[in-house]
Chain A
Amino acid sequence: MSGTPPVGALPVASGRRSAAVLWRTAAAHPADLARALSTTVLSSAGTVALPLLLGRAVDVVRAGEGLTPLVVQLSVVALLTALTTALARRDAERLGAAVAADLRERVVDRSLRMSPRVLERAGSGDVASRVTEDVELFTASVQLGAGVLTALVTVLLSAVGFLSLDWRLALAFCVVFPVYAASLRWYLPKAGPLYAAERSVAADRSQVVLQSLHGAATVHAYGMADLQGDRVEAASLRTVGASRAALRTFARFSMSMNGAEAVGLSALLLTGFLLVRGDVVTVGAVTAAALLFHRLFGPLGTLLLSFDEVSRAAAALNRLVGVVDLPAEPAPDPAVLARAPRARVGLVVRGLTHAYDETPGAAPVLHEVDLEVPAGTSLAVVGESGAGKTTLAAIVGGVFPATAGTVTLTGPAGAVDLGALDAGAVRERIGVVAQESHVFTGTLREDLTLARPGATDAQVRAALAVVGAQDWVAALPGGLDTRVGPGELPLSPARAQQLALARLVLRDPPVVVLDEATAEAGSAGARDLEQAAVAVVRGRTALVVAHRLSQAAACDRIAVMAAGRVVELGPHEDLLALGGRYARLWATWSRSALPT
């Protein structure tokens, strides 16, 4: 998406900082780095030496001398150039592959472990685009980088080559640089926004096309093919306009490159002419200069044309380094960790207040919530949409910290504030299944063992049995080897939720937080899920956001929330007898559904 970055977006590193990180990452492979640099220099030297020797051949034949020694030299240089060029290519790409792998692993590592506060503020979209698009862009630029490195070294060494012929020829060659600089100065500021606009409209177009394909059934049902077709056409037409605008600018830029070549060649010929007339250099030297310049068209073109791509890769790198540089989560105090209960864990919530909007005076979503869930008991949270149930569950589950108030884990050995533990320690104690479910791509076994690496098939099957999923899994053609996830075998939302619950069973934390795990499952699916949830809750300390009141009734106690506060609290029967909010909810929900 285009536009200004949202408040709280992830940081972007400066170019200087990125260069430093890139260099340090490369320097971590000193042997590769040294080899890549030395072979590149040697291969470029060979590329420059060939036309110089050819120029000397002109002098030799004009003088009527024997060519043999020169042909031998030429052959040796050609052979060595071929060898070093091959090695340079290999070494540079190897180094690039190592650097790219190091960087992307660090980026993914940091992203997955990012502090919840940063993640929630930045939004998962920004993180995802860095981990996917930017990483891919940077990884793919390795080959480009190897080519640019070679071209750069060749151009630099050519200057030395021209100097070896005559300093005035070198000066004549340098005429091209102001021309290139001027055209880049004209082009780059225009190109950036044009390509950005092109990419942005192209992304919108893909979006519209993808929506149309996904929604083909909907479009057909409504008979709105023309309307949606017009939308696709309009989005596609916008990309044509943007591409043409970018094309016009690029065409002018490429003409100026030819201009620089013409100017450079003319300057070399004129200078050479004068120098030969003054008997300062030989005809061969001028020939060498002209041939060398002719051979430079390629590398110079590579440098200029890749300028844009290189700057795009650099921008991606800045965004990657921005993630790499995020502060790591501090390790918890070992004394606190030792005190943190592992079994028979209870929950105590005190004065929990939370506002998503951090400007002072913004209406909080939670107001001074106090709750207790003794070890091994379950508490249901019910209330209308917007009452703060999900926020409460997320904070108690350690998904993100509250604006104010505490969540304490209690145990026989003592109590520990949730905020004093790191993510790893929290997840050993509390498992969360929230509304968002995701089927991880891979085999069903891989999907489930994410929660417990190394679990045996028997353990996996047992977990599936607890959530009532053993039958349909056994009926799959590949059993646990069936590939699931987006683009593979599609699973209904209810089955996806069953898998989420099965992961929790495998993980086996003493505390579970379940939030609306039954939404979107359909009635029959919802009943199965409800039973699965009951099985998961059994024997654990649980906080359950109940979407369906039958689920609430199955819990030991129920907290009714309204406008961010707990307004009723107690067992099902007590609350019904109270005749308050819960009793009304129950009446609405069960209106004649259950013959009593």
Chain B
Amino acid sequence: MSPRPVLDVLRRHRRAAALGCGSSMLHQTCEALVPVAIGLAVDRAVATGDVHAVVLSVAGVLLLFAVLSSAGTFAFWVIDRAEFAEAHHLRTAVARAVLRDPAALGDRQVGDALSVATSDTRHAAEALGLVSFLASGCFGLLVAAVVLLRIDVALGLGLLVAVPLLVLGLQALAPRLEARVHDRQRTAGLAAAVAADLLAGLRPLRGFGGVPEAVRRYHRASSLSRRAAVGAAGATSVVVGVSTLATGAVLVATAAVAGTFVARGRLDVGEFVTVVGMASFLADPVRTISHCVQQLAVSRAGARRVAELLRPGAPRRPLEDSPSPAHVPVPVPTVPGEVLGVVTTDTATADAVTAAFAAVPGALVEPSHTVLLGQTLADALASGPVPAGRGVPLAAALEAAAAPTDLDLALHDGGTNVSGGQRQRIGLARALAADRELLVLRDPTTALDAVTEDRVAAGLRDLRAGAGTTVLVTSSPLLLSRCDRVVLLGPGGRHATGTHAGLLDDPDYAAAVAR
């Protein structure tokens, strides 16, 4: 990835950018020629009563619009298509980069990363359109300049200086407006967030009778949002008023000067109409140019953020719940094929042991926080190709984990529509189906009732027997009583090994597994 990501985007879509630029320039030229055509038609046909001229004028207008419309639509079509393709390319690249190596996320929160994958990739792709429209805006300005200067040098120069100056002057008002508009969006977002939060917690909220207070809080957020919207309306109205005044002033001044020129015979009536029409047209390309320049900054920033995520070797930080490539040796040696229970007296040790196992090549550590991927149960259970010569039938894995068996079961938002216990059991079934030589499970049954937990413990044991080594980092007596061997990692680095029943005499152990 080069240090100029926007250029990379353009380079990847050279043909689309060139075609888009060209047709968009043609479109702008036609737009600039509309006032010319009106002027010519009035002067040569309407004012003279020449039938031949009017036929020619109408044919000319139709032809002009035909070219204008085709070129404009083609430009729009070519550019948008390329933007979609580029956004898709970047989005997929970002997703793959994060998936291959979660550390690519760096210090980003998931929300930030999501906005890189969705909005920044889109902004980066928009560079294609922005560059094309920037070029065509400049070209439209050029065409207008040529037309005006050919009609009258003084008038043309006056307009060519005054209009861009006014438009750019108006941009000076923009920061004030932007601040207010930002405030409006922000408070609207806050109000929406309050509503979403209350709705997300509606059942608990109703449970403790918090509804009246919740309604009061939302009203507060909503009226803040309303006040900000009123403030933004004030700022918008100033900008709209000033810009209307500026265009009006240019129009009136142009009409006055051009009218005087007509009276003196320096211009004809058609040229008067053209110049007046041009006075209102000129603002368009100038506005386009300034808009594109501003948006290019946004696009560049987006492209840079995307590039940062894609760049290999960026500063990294291990994910909290991801296995860190720790080089600590596994503190508990395993015997191949056994079911080993690991009991710790504090969470930090449990975390460290789990992380250490994760660094063992070929080990599968099911993350303690179950995340289900995909739209259906079948999706959620698929975890890529099973190593050669291995494999557990899905039905057996689901049975052992006491998980739902309808593979078409729809999972919304990562399984929020099933209970926590079901999520946990589906995650367990996925781990069992993946069938690895070394399987490490951390507190796999915390959300299950005792009867189900007992069933799952038995199923797990049966399924893993002869399939590989299983490590259970847990304090559940139901799981531990089914382990071949249990290791206690006690306070002060004290280890004790035995069976669940045997270790119960150890007070630290008994405390750790007591319910």
Q: Do A and B bind each other?
A: yes
- Distance in angstroms from A6 CB to nearest chain B CB is 12
A265 interfacial by beta-carbon distance below 8 Å? yes
Of A104, A244, A592, which is within 8 A of B481 by CB?
Answer: A592
Q: Tell me which of B131-139, B144-152, B207-215, B483-491 binds A.
A: B207-215
Q: Are B47 and A222 in contact (CB under 8 A)?
A: no
List, in ascending order, chain B residues with CB within 8 A of A142's CB. 229
Q: How far is the CA of A86 from the CA of B248 in the complex (A)?
A: 13
Q: How far is the CA of A433 from the CA of B72 in the complex (A)?
A: 61
Of A113, A232, A286, A439, which is within 8 A of B42 by CB?
Answer: A286
A223 interfacial by beta-carbon distance below 8 Å? yes
Of B81, B195, B206, B280, which is within 8 A of A108 by CB?
Answer: B195
A399 interfacial by beta-carbon distance below 8 Å? yes
CB closest chain-A residue, reference B345: A524
Q: Are B46 and A228 in contact (CB under 8 A)?
A: no
Q: Are A127 and B199 in contact (CB under 8 A)?
A: yes
List, in ascending order, chain A residues with CB within 8 A of B474's CB. 523
Q: Are A269 and B57 in contact (CB under 8 A)?
A: yes
A295 interfacial by beta-carbon distance below 8 Å? yes
Q: How far is the CA of A428 from the CA of B447 in the complex (A)?
A: 31
Q: How far is the CA of A112 from the CA of B95 in the complex (A)?
A: 37
B269 interfacial by beta-carbon distance below 8 Å? yes
Q: Are A519 and B421 in contact (CB under 8 A)?
A: yes
User: A229 with B200: in contact, given A209-B118, A548-B515 (CB under 8 Å)?
Assistant: no
Q: Are B241 and A232 in contact (CB under 8 A)?
A: no
CB closest chain-A residue, reference B108: A213
User: A592 with B500: in contact, given A94-B233, A105-B222, A244-B84 (CB under 8 Å)?
Assistant: yes
Q: How far is the CA of A524 from the CA of B511 in the complex (A)?
A: 10
Q: Are B248 and A79 in contact (CB under 8 A)?
A: yes
Q: Tell me which of B5-13, B15-23, B298-306, B449-457 binds A.
A: B449-457
- Distance in angstroms from B221 CB to nearest chain A CB is 10
Q: Are A269 and B412 in contact (CB under 8 A)?
A: no
User: A547 with B192: in contact, given A266-B61, A291-B277, A433-B204 (CB under 8 Å)?
Assistant: no
B99 interfacial by beta-carbon distance below 8 Å? yes
A341 interfacial by beta-carbon distance below 8 Å? no
List, in ascending order, chain A residues with CB within 8 A of B236's CB. 89-90, 93, 143
Q: How many A-B residue pairs have CB under 8 A?
A: 475
User: A61 with B272: in contact, given A97-B226, A131-B199, A435-B420 (CB under 8 Å)?
Assistant: yes
- 7 pairs of residues in contact across A and B, judged by CB atoms under 8 Å: A74-B251, A97-B233, A283-B42, A294-B277, A520-B420, A522-B446, A523-B475
Q: Are B322 and A216 in contact (CB under 8 A)?
A: yes
Of B62, B225, B244, B451, which is within 8 A of A266 by CB?
Answer: B62
List, in ascending order, chain A residues with CB within 8 A of B205's CB. 112, 438, 440, 450
- Which A427-455 residues have C-beta < 8 A from chain B? 427-428, 431-441, 449-451, 453
Q: Are B77 and A87 in contact (CB under 8 A)?
A: no
Q: Are A211 and B273 in contact (CB under 8 A)?
A: no
Q: Are A247 and B81 in contact (CB under 8 A)?
A: yes
B418 interfacial by beta-carbon distance below 8 Å? no
User: A112 with B364: in contact, given A101-B225, A450-B213, A593-B477 (CB under 8 Å)?
Assistant: no
Q: How far is the CA of A212 from the CA of B118 in the complex (A)?
A: 13
User: A441 with B193: in contact, given A82-B245, A127-B199, A229-B92 (CB under 8 Å)?
Assistant: yes
Interface string of B38-81 (1 = CB under 8 A from A): 10011001110100001001100110111011101100110011
User: A431 with B197: in contact, given A101-B223, A283-B46, A592-B504 (CB under 8 Å)?
Assistant: no
Q: How far is the CA of A431 from the CA of B210 in the complex (A)?
A: 10
A307 interfacial by beta-carbon distance below 8 Å? no
Q: Are B208 and A132 in contact (CB under 8 A)?
A: no
List, in ascending order, chain A residues with CB within 8 A of B109's CB. 487
- Distance in angstroms from B255 CB to nearest chain A CB is 6
CB closest chain-B residue, reference A513: B207
Of A85, A214, A290, A449, which is within 8 A of B273 by CB?
Answer: A290
Q: Are B211 and A113 in contact (CB under 8 A)?
A: yes
B160 interfacial by beta-carbon distance below 8 Å? no
A231 interfacial by beta-carbon distance below 8 Å? yes
Q: How far is the CA of A54 from the CA of B274 in the complex (A)?
A: 12
- Which A134-154 residues have C-beta < 8 A from chain B? 135-136, 139-140, 142-143
B196 interfacial by beta-carbon distance below 8 Å? yes
Q: Are A397 and B65 in contact (CB under 8 A)?
A: no
Q: Are A283 and B196 in contact (CB under 8 A)?
A: no
B374 interfacial by beta-carbon distance below 8 Å? yes
List, in ascending order, chain B residues with CB within 8 A of A228's CB. 95, 99, 373
User: A221 with B323: in contact, given A227-B384, A287-B42 (CB under 8 Å)?
Assistant: yes
Q: How far is the CA of A248 from the CA of B76 in the complex (A)?
A: 10
Q: Are B515 and A94 in contact (CB under 8 A)?
A: no
B173 interfacial by beta-carbon distance below 8 Å? no
List, in ascending order, chain B residues with CB within 8 A of A272's CB. 42, 46
Q: How far is the CA of A212 from the CA of B371 in the complex (A)?
A: 9
Q: Are A295 and B280 in contact (CB under 8 A)?
A: yes
Q: How far is the CA of A427 from the CA of B203 in the complex (A)?
A: 13
Interface string of A63-103 (1 = CB under 8 A from B): 01001001100110111011101110110011011101100
Q: How far is the CA of A227 from the CA of B68 in the complex (A)?
A: 47
List, in ascending order, chain B residues with CB within 8 A of A225's CB. 96, 99-100
Q: Tell me which of A172-180, A251-259, A464-472 binds B.
A: A251-259
Q: How far is the CA of A119 from the CA of B199 in the complex (A)?
A: 11
- Distance in angstroms from A28 CB to nearest chain B CB is 14
CB closest chain-A residue, reference B246: A82
Q: How far is the CA of A450 from the CA of B211 in the complex (A)?
A: 8
Q: Tell me which of A361-369, A403-411, A413-421, A503-511 binds B.
A: A503-511
A62 interfacial by beta-carbon distance below 8 Å? yes
Q: How far is the CA of A1 from the CA of B99 in the complex (A)?
A: 25
Q: How far is the CA of A82 from the CA of B247 in the complex (A)?
A: 9
Q: How far is the CA of A83 from the CA of B269 in the complex (A)?
A: 31
B292 interfacial by beta-carbon distance below 8 Å? no
What are the 9 closest A-B residue pairs judged by CB atoms, nearest first?
Answer: A86-B241, A427-B209, A78-B248, A438-B201, A93-B233, A262-B65, A258-B69, A432-B207, A90-B237
List, in ascending order, chain A residues with CB within 8 A of B269's CB. 58, 61-62, 283, 287
B35 interfacial by beta-carbon distance below 8 Å? yes
List, in ascending order, chain B residues with CB within 8 A of A127's CB. 199, 202
Q: How far is the CA of A216 from the CA of B373 in the complex (A)?
A: 10
CB closest chain-A residue, reference B207: A432
- Which A540-578 residues have C-beta < 8 A from chain B? 547-550
Of B95, B201, B251, which is within 8 A of A50 by CB?
Answer: B251
User: A220 with B323: in contact, given A93-B232, A97-B229, A215-B414 (CB under 8 Å)?
Assistant: yes
- Give me 7 other A-B pairs in contact (C-beta within 8 A), A57-B255, A243-B80 excluded: A62-B269, A71-B256, A71-B259, A112-B198, A213-B110, A224-B383, A258-B69
A311 interfacial by beta-carbon distance below 8 Å? no
Of A143, A384, A453, A593, which is within 8 A of B216 by CB?
Answer: A453
Q: Are B84 and A240 in contact (CB under 8 A)?
A: yes
Q: Are A451 and B69 in contact (CB under 8 A)?
A: no
B408 interfacial by beta-carbon distance below 8 Å? no
CB closest chain-A residue, reference B92: A233
Q: How far is the CA of A43 from the CA of B321 in the complex (A)?
A: 61
Q: Are A71 and B252 in contact (CB under 8 A)?
A: yes
User: A294 with B209: in contact, given A89-B240, A261-B65 (CB under 8 Å)?
Assistant: no
Of A222, A262, A451, A487, which is within 8 A of B66 by CB?
Answer: A262
List, in ascending order, chain B residues with CB within 8 A of A487's CB. 109, 111
List, in ascending order, chain A residues with CB within 8 A of B240's CB. 85-86, 89
Q: Are B91 and A209 in contact (CB under 8 A)?
A: yes
Q: How far is the CA of A582 from the CA of B235 in the complex (A)?
A: 71
List, in ascending order, chain B residues with CB within 8 A of A269's CB. 41-42, 45-46, 54, 57-58, 61
B510 interfacial by beta-carbon distance below 8 Å? yes
A594 interfacial by beta-carbon distance below 8 Å? yes
Of B85, B111, B273, B321, which is within 8 A of A287 by CB?
Answer: B273
A17 interfacial by beta-carbon distance below 8 Å? no
A585 interfacial by beta-carbon distance below 8 Å? yes
- Distance in angstroms from B312 CB to nearest chain A CB is 15
Q: Are B204 and A438 in contact (CB under 8 A)?
A: yes
